[in-house]
Structure 1
Amino acid sequence: AHSPPIRMAPDPFIKYFKALKKDLSSLVERYDAFFKHEEEFPTLFGKTELFGPRSGRPLSAVLSNLEQALKVHENFQTVNEKYFLKPLEKVCAIVPSISSLFSEREDLVKDLDKLKKKQQKMETMERTGENLAKLSKVIRTFCITIPCVCH
């Protein structure tokens, strides 16, 4: 007596997994066909000029253009950082010091101008009015006491 095999109820997760595998396989097959035949790209990326409808480039040409653009961008970043950003950072670090030196210089020039005006004012005060009378009196007294120096 041979008993019939016991059938188990199908696991819902296995069913779900098989359906996903089937969908994924179908998607992979479509991508393989797409890339093998180098179908044209313009309809997929119509928004950019590189992939625009006028270009009509095959996928390999577009990918090589993208790779070249990436290399150029990386070179630009390297050159920019090495030859422009680092020196620019040094210059930018010096600029506040230079600015403060210029402001100190301006302050010194203003102080010198004030002192020069004050000196000129004092010199003119000495030559006029009371000071001139006092000075002439001192000179006369000096000339009377020491006549050989004045004449």
Structure 2
Amino acid sequence: MSAVHRAVAPGALDALAAALGGAHGTPRYVSGTVRRGAGGLVVEALAVVADTVVVPDLAAGAGDGALAGAVADPPDPVAGALRTASALLAQAAHTGLRQLPGGFRDRLRDAGAGLARLGLDRCGAALTGLAGALGADPGDAAVRAWVDAQIRLLVTAESR
């Protein structure tokens, strides 16, 4: 179950916490959108049915209540490694393969090694391959290596 504070509905989190805590009777149903998260399925609550229907976004309130059930998302090393690698590829696309700063190839290799340590061997190899294809005058091979790495990272991130 997940909910995020939004300024347009300041009392939503308080109303959701109260409804799930039994302030309106035992919660029987929760309506919401479902997405995949690192720990499994995550429901973004839209309404809770107890003895009454509670729609958090329509609830009055200042949003100043204490939330006993609030927890931070656990760290996700795979997502972090994918973000780092994707940021490197974005920098390469933005800067251009011929204009990359010194040490960029080492950063690619480090990111590739980090992905491989997490079991994403092919993604890691794609980044290491791109690092190897870069040089004083990167040509078509470097462009193909960048595209291969980008597609691998995107598909891996999307399939999680």
Structure with the bigger percentage of strand: 2
Larger radius of gyration: 1
TM-score class, shorter: under 0.3
Q: What TM-score comes out, normalization by structure 2 length? A: 0.23
- Higher fraction of helix: 1
Q: TM-score, length-normalised on structure 1? A: 0.23
Structure with the larger RCO, 1 or 2 (CA within 8 Å, 6+ apart): 2
